[in-house]
Structure 1
Amino acid sequence: MSQPTEPAPSPDGAALHGPVARLLRPLVRLLVQRGITFPALTNLLRELYVNVAEYDFALPGKEQTDSRVSLLTGIHRKEVRRLRGAGAPVSQVPATVSRTSRIIARWVAAPEFTDGQGRPLPLPRSADDASPSFESLVAGVTKDVRPRAVLDEWLDRGLAILDPEGRVRLLEAAYLPKGGDEPQLYYFGRNLHDHIAAAAENVAAPSPRFFERAVHYDGLSDALAARLEERAREIAMGALKQANAEAHAACAEDAGGRHRWNFGIYIYREEVPARDPGTVAGPDSASDAAEGRAP
C-alpha cells in the first residue's frame, strides 16, 4: 500500500528551503544541546502554524474557519479544532530584565550620570542634595524596589562594584546577561525574533522596508578575523551608545503610544572547512552586503 505523499511546495516555498535550513541549523544545535527533542519541537510548531494561520491570515470581514486554517497549514481539521484559540507562546519581559535594562540605559545616557566622553560616572550611594547618586538613578526609573536592594543584586551579579571611595561603578556599559538564565533567554528570543521578522518583512514586501545589512569577508587568517571582530565591537558599541543617548533624550518629550523600536547589531566569525585545491581565497566584496528582509 503506497504512502500518502506530501504536497509539493510552491516555487517560492521551494526557494526558501536552503536559506531556512541554514538559519535553523544553529537553532537545532541549541535545541539538541538543551534536550528539546524533535517531537517536542513538532508540537510547538504545530501550535504556531495554527496560531499564525488563524490570526495573521484571516480575511477581512470573514470568519476564519477550521477548513481554511487546515488548508493553509496542512494540519488536519481535527487538530486545528483542538489547537485554535490556544494562543501563541509569548515571552513576557522578566521584571528584573526590564528594571535592570532601564536603569543601565539611563546611567549610560542621561547627561547628569555621564562624563564629558559619555562614560557612566561612579556614583555615591546617596546624596543629601540634588547631586547625582545611585539612589536618585534608581528612583528615577522605579519606586517599586529600594535602591539598596538593586545595588545588592548588581553587586552579586557582577554588574557593579564599590570603589575604594564607596562609590558605585558600573562594570558593563551594556546589559549582558550570561549563562543561559532567564534574562539571557528572554533577549535570545526577542532579538532573534526582531532580526528574522525584519528580514522576512523585506523578503515579502515589494521593496525592503527595514535596514538589514552586513559586511562580510571570507578567506581570512585567524589573526585578522580576531582583529576585525575586536574593531567591530568598538564600532558597534559606539553606535549603540549614541542610539541609546538620543532615544533616551527623545523619550522625555514623547507623549507615548503603542509602538516599540529595536536597534541591534551582531558580530560573528567562525573557522570554515578548507577550500578545494585551486580555489582562490579572497574577501567577498564589501559592497555586496545585501539589504535583507525582516519582521
Structure 2
Amino acid sequence: MAAPSPHVPPDASRLQAPVARLLRPLVRLFVRCGITFPALTDLLRELYVNVAEYDFALPGKEQTDSRVSLLTGIHRKEVRRLRGAGAPVSAVPVAVSRTSRIIARWLAAPEFTDEQGRPRPLPRASETEPSFESLVASVTRDLRPRAVLDEWLDRGIAFVDEAERIVLSEAAFVPRGGGEQQLYYFGRNLHDHVAAAVTNILEERPRFLERAVHYDGLSPDLARRLEARAREIAMEALQQANREAHAACETDPGGAARWNFGLYVYVEEAPAPPRANPTP
C-alpha cells in the first residue's frame, strides 16, 4: 500500500487575497493610531526573524543566520543583528489578570450567582451572606476590596444601585475602548483565533473548531436584529462555558496549558455592487 501523500500547505499566491482581507482592518487601526509603514516594516522584520529562529529550527541542529536568512529573505547582517532577543512572552498585565479572575468568579461561583446563573448584586460587606468583600477575598488577599471597588467604579465595571449593592455592569464584558484591558484581549483573542485557523490550514485535518454563521444581502434592520439576538446567544454560551471551567478548576492540579473559548459578532453595511452597463 502506498504511503499517504504529505499535507501540502497552500502556496503563497493563493494566500495573498485572504491575507489582504485579513490585514485591512488592522491597517486601518495602524493608520488611525499612527503606526507608519516603516514602523510596521521594522516590527515585521523582527517577527520574521523570531518566528524563523524559534518555530522552524531543525531538531538536533543549531539554527544558523544563513538558514534564517533563507527562510525569511532578510539579509544575513540584519538577521545577525535581530537574533537572540528570545521568543516573545505574552505576559498578562497584573490589573487585567486580577480583574478577569474576580469577574470570572462572580459569574460562575454558585454563592455569587442567582437561580438563572446571573451575577448577584452584592452588598459591600456582610457577615451573613456573600458580599463584594468576600468575593474579592476569595480570589486574592493581596488587595483591599475597597481599592478594587474604587477602581471598578471609576472604570465603569461595576456600579452601586439604589439599595447600596454592588452590581456588575456591561463594561465588565466590553472593556473601555483603548484601555489596557481591551488592548490585551485584542492581542490575545485575535492571536488565538488566527492561530486556530492557521493550524487548521497547515494540518491535514482541522484540529480546532473555527466556524461562523453568515448571511449576506440583508436589510439593515434585520442585520441589527440578528446582531442583538446573537449577542444574547453568545453571552449565554460564554457564561455556561465559564461556569463549567470554573467548577473544573476547583479540582484541577494545574499546569502549563491554557484554554480559550471565544465568540464574535460582526455586522456591516457593505457597499452595493456596481451595476453593469445595459447592453445597447
Task: Show the 5 A alignment for 1:223-262.
Answer: 223-262=221-260
CA distance in 2, matches of 1:148, 1:169: 15
Instruction: Output the TM-score relative to the length of structure 2.
Output: 0.92
What is the CA RMSD across the aligned residues, in angstroms?
A: 1.5
CA contact (8 A) 2:123 2:165 kept: yes
Secondary structure (helix, strand or coil) at the match of 2:11 reads helix
Aligned counterpart, 2:48: 49
For 1:17, the aligned partner's letter is Q
Aligned residues: 268
CA distance in 1, matches of 2:155, 2:10: 51
Aligned counterpart, 2:267: 269
Alignment partner of 1:12 is 2:31: no
CA contact (8 A) 1:122 1:170 kept: yes
Change (3 A) 1:20 1:42: same
Task: Show the 5 A alignment for 1:112-131.
Answer: 112-129=111-128, 131=129
Task: Show the 5 A alignment for 1:191-210.
Answer: 191-210=189-208
Alignment partner of 1:184 is 2:182: yes
What do the CA deviations read for 1:73-124 (whole angstroms, capped 9, x no partner)? 0000000000001135444211111111111110011110011011111111
Change (3 A) 1:240 1:232: same
Instruction: Output the TM-score relative to the length of structure 1.
Output: 0.88
CA distance in 2, matches of 1:26, 1:257: 36
CA distance in 1, matches of 2:161, 2:174: 21
For 1:121, the aligned partner's letter is R
Aligned counterpart, 1:109: 108
For 1:148, the aligned partner's letter is R
CA contact (8 A) 1:49 1:73 kept: yes
Task: Show the 5 A alignment for 1:147-166.
Answer: 147-166=145-164
CA shift, 1:246, in A, is 0.4
Secondary structure (helix, strand or coil) at the match of 1:140 reads helix
CA distance in 2, matches of 1:135, 1:226: 39
Aligned counterpart, 1:21: 20
CA distance in 2, matches of 1:166, 1:270: 40
CA shift, 1:177, in A, is 1.2
Aligned counterpart, 2:70: 71
Change (3 A) 1:240 1:195: same
Change (3 A) 1:183 1:11: closer
**The 10-residue stretch of structure 1 (45-54 or 88-97) with the greater mean CA deviation from structure 2:** 88-97
CA shift, 1:179, in A, is 2.0
CA distance in 2, matches of 1:224, 1:47: 45
Aligned counterpart, 2:79: 80
Q: Greater relative contact order: 1 or 2 (C-alpha under 8 angstroms, separation 6 or more)? A: 1
CA shift, 1:128, in A, is 2.0
What do the CA deviations read for 1:237-269 (whole angstroms, capped 9, x no partner)? 100010000000000010101100000001111
Change (3 A) 1:47 1:173: closer
Secondary structure (helix, strand or coil) at the match of 1:108 reads helix
CA shift, 1:11, in A, is 6.6
**The 10-residue stretch of structure 1 (165-174 or 192-201) with the greater mean CA deviation from structure 2:** 165-174
Instruction: Calculate percent identity across the aligned residue pairs.
Output: 75
CA distance in 1, matches of 2:247, 2:271: 47
**Which residue, 203, 214, 217 being the options, matches 2:212?**
214
CA distance in 1, matches of 2:10, 2:161: 62
CA distance in 1, matches of 2:10, 2:116: 54
CA contact (8 A) 2:54 2:87 kept: no
CA distance in 1, matches of 2:219, 2:18: 27
CA contact (8 A) 1:104 1:175 kept: no
Change (3 A) 1:123 1:271: same
Unaligned runs of 5+ in 1: 1-9, 279-295
Unaligned runs of 5+ in 2: 1-8
For 2:67, the aligned partner's letter is R
CA contact (8 A) 1:48 1:88 kept: no
What do the CA deviations read for 1:115-172 (whole angstroms, capped 9, x no partner)? 101111111111224x211111001111111000001111111111222222111113
Aligned counterpart, 2:167: 169
